[in-house]
Structure 1
């Protein structure tokens, strides 16, 4: 039976974060609020938990799960390096709605799906998410909805779609902004935009000079 906590209440928030962290360590699934939409998360280093996450969403291994981190130090431990642009992007937009795709640290034992040696990482700008991540370490987190269904902007939306496949629901209230994170690929010579989102191309170019889009590196947003 799922457990739900109202994180706008201080006592429930503390109890919910403790319960959620314990659930993640047991390989169970939790739903948490982020600065974009609600996410469904699991321990990034427990392959069976990541498999359960994909099954709960009805999603295949061909769409590997991104990873949320609570600190920049945690992110650095997950990747070979941030490349020539990554640190400037992190300094400018983290915590916040920018997902960076980097080469994964080859010494890590994890299975996020068919990732081809890369990992999508982000530090969310949401106090509940950050508190949980600092307690659990990196989590595999995807949007808290069934594959193909609308993203959940409330915990109730997520619960309707995911039900008892999730052990703990952390209810942080409605999402302030359901615009998805911008996804930027740093594994190529020129940073390449894979998804337009809350961080505009203009803002990215203001930090790193140029970004390749479908129309090429000099195209307008």
Structure 2
């Protein structure tokens, strides 16, 4: 039976975190607070767990989930290359609401879906999420909602939509309604390549331009994707 833990209470926080870690190890799903909307999380290195996440949300492999990490050192193990411009963005906006799409290490033993060799990565600015990530390692995380429904801003709203498909719900209080900004930095590996905005969210285009200057592509009809880390990702 699924359980929801009020993380404002020390005893429930300790129990909820312990059970969340155990659930991830077993390949089950957990709902966690982030600094944006609530997310439903699975072990990124367990294909069965990732498929369980997609099934719970009613998604296909064409909508691979992004990955949350506890720090830059984990990103370095996941991405094949981190350009200097991306490191500048990380210095400015991590932890925080910026998801970065990079080319993935080809040796990674995981299956997030149809990623075309990329990975969308973010370090959230939330102590509960970061503590769990430190214990579990990278988590595949999508917004805690059914596809087509609004992203959950409370643990109870996530429970109402996802129910028993999730093992453990960690209630960190009300979240913001603003999802992360998603950028694609994969083109930087080619001469003249620029960073494009897939979805503008918590970090504005003007904030990005302050760091990137001419390396930020002009908005020629940017499209919010549905989980490249997409429109329903935290």
Contact 1:33 1:39 in 2 (8 A): yes
Greater shift, 73-82 or 46-55, is seen at: 73-82
List aligned pairs for 1:121-136, cutoff 5 A. 121-136=121-136
Partner of 1:194: 198
Partner of 1:54: 54
Separation in structure 2 between the aligned mates of residue 213 and residue 17 of structure 1, nearest angstrom: 43
Separation in structure 2 between the aligned mates of residue 31 and residue 67 of structure 1, nearest angstrom: 14
Separation in structure 1 between the aligned mates of residue 202 and residue 53 of structure 2, nearest angstrom: 25
- CA RMSD, 1 decimal: 1.2
User: How far is the alpha carbon of 1:81 from its aligned partner?
Assistant: 1.3
Separation in structure 1 between the aligned mates of residue 197 and residue 89 of structure 2, nearest angstrom: 13
Separation in structure 2 between the aligned mates of residue 213 and residue 76 of structure 1, nearest angstrom: 28
List aligned pairs for 1:141-220, cutoff 5 A. 141-175=141-175, 177-188=176-187, 189-210=193-214, 211-215=216-220
Contact 1:42 1:49 in 2 (8 A): yes
Separation in structure 2 between the aligned mates of residue 75 and residue 8 of structure 1, nearest angstrom: 30
Separation in structure 2 between the aligned mates of residue 215 and residue 50 of structure 1, nearest angstrom: 33
Q: Deviations over 1:163-194 (max 9, x none)?
A: 0000000001111x211100010001101111
Q: Deviations over 1:54-88 (max 9, x none)?
A: 00000111111100001111111000011231111
Separation in structure 1 between the aligned mates of residue 220 and residue 61 of structure 2, nearest angstrom: 29
Separation in structure 2 between the aligned mates of residue 136 and residue 15 of structure 1, nearest angstrom: 16
List aligned pairs for 1:62-101, cutoff 5 A. 62-101=62-101
Q: TM-score, normalised by structure 2?
A: 0.90
